[in-house]
Amino acid sequence: MRIGQGFDSHQWDDDLSKPLMLGGVEFDLNSSLKGHSDGDVIIHACIDALLGAAGLGE
What percentage of the chain carries pLDDT values higher than 90?
A: 52
Considering its fold, how many domains does the chain have in total?
Answer: 1
- Predicted local distance difference test score (pLDDT) of residue 58: 67
| pTM: predicted TM-score of the whole model, two decimal places | 0.77
Asked if residue 39 belongs to a domain, the reply is yes
Low-confidence ranges of the chain (pLDDT < 70): 58
Which domain range does residue 26 map to? Answer: 19-53
Helix (H) or strand (E) holding 44: helix 41-53
CA distance 20 to 29: 7
Find, among 51, 56, 38, 55, the residue nearest to 6 by Cα.
51
Asked if residue 8 belongs to a domain, the reply is no
Asked if residue 13 belongs to a domain, the reply is no
